[in-house]
Amino acid sequence: MTMFPAASLVASGGEIYCHLFENPRTGLPRNIYWSITIDFQPIQHLDQQWRCSMTCEWLTWALRDWRELAGQSLDLTYGENGSESSFYTWQHDIGKSTRLRIGARHGDHFDVSMGMIVDFAGVTETDSNPALQVRGQAVIPYTGVIVVPDNLAPPPRTPADVSALVSGFLDTSLHTSPKRREHAFRMKPMPGI
């Protein structure tokens, strides 16, 4: 039996962002939902190279000021309060339990540590593990807010519409004006804060 070498994973970066989202059909209210990802350096396993990452998302922290991410922490099970956690190889495997700690802020970057117990299906039948332990620690940036107009009703069409909607949840003075990129508006953290 070949075990997946999770203990050899080395964090290489990641991202923190949030998005304004709602889904009336499923009863998901309009809110800001936070997502935190830690990426890992490529790892060799079963004669292949893998790019892995882990993400904890759909977090509903009521933070108007993104700088207050410093000091946030969670210990949760998959689905608790609507949250989801996943470990990604060539597929995503559920993080059954997750421990997340956000430490000191350095400009728009934060010290982040995350650990998961993953229900790992395996790359092959020989390396599955229903309790794979994955851990990572990195300094990662807060990259801002994403608003996909079609995820909201009625959809915002202008930057002013987007700012007005986001201002109900976040301090927009701490973000740049919304810029349209492809299917979404993006608001980055204001430089120099």
Instruction: List pLDDT tens digits, range 50-90.
Output: 899 999 999 999 999 999 999 999 999 999 988 999 999 88
Mean pLDDT across the stretch 108-126?
92
pTM of the shown model: 0.94
Residue with tokens 């004006």: 177
At residue 122, the pLDDT reads 86
Whether the per-residue pLDDT at 2 is higher than 70: the answer is: yes
Whether the per-residue pLDDT at 4 is higher than 90: the answer is: no
Question: Are 17 and 75 spatial neighbours (Cβ–Cβ below 8 Å)?
Answer: no
pLDDT band at 29 (very low <50, low <70, confident <90, very high): very high
pLDDT band at 1 (very low <50, low <70, confident <90, very high): low
How many alpha carbons fall within 13 Å on the CB side of residue 140? 26
Mean pLDDT across the stretch 4-13?
93
Instruction: List pLDDT tens digits, range 121-170.
Output: 987 778 889 999 999 999 999 999 999 999 999 999 999 999 999 999 99
At residue 192, the pLDDT reads 84
Question: Are 74 and 180 spatial neighbours (Cβ–Cβ below 8 Å)?
Answer: no
Q: What is the C-alpha separation between 156 and 120, in angstroms, rounded? A: 40
Mean pLDDT across the stretch 33-61?
93
pLDDT band at 48 (very low <50, low <70, confident <90, very high): confident
User: In Å, what is the CA distance from 121 to each residue of 9, 79, 144?
Assistant: 18, 19, 33
User: In Å, what is the CA distance from 189 to each residue of 86, 117, 144, 166?
Assistant: 26, 32, 5, 13
At residue 130, the pLDDT reads 94
- pLDDT higher for 5 or 100? 100
Q: What is the mean pLDDT of the chain?
A: 94
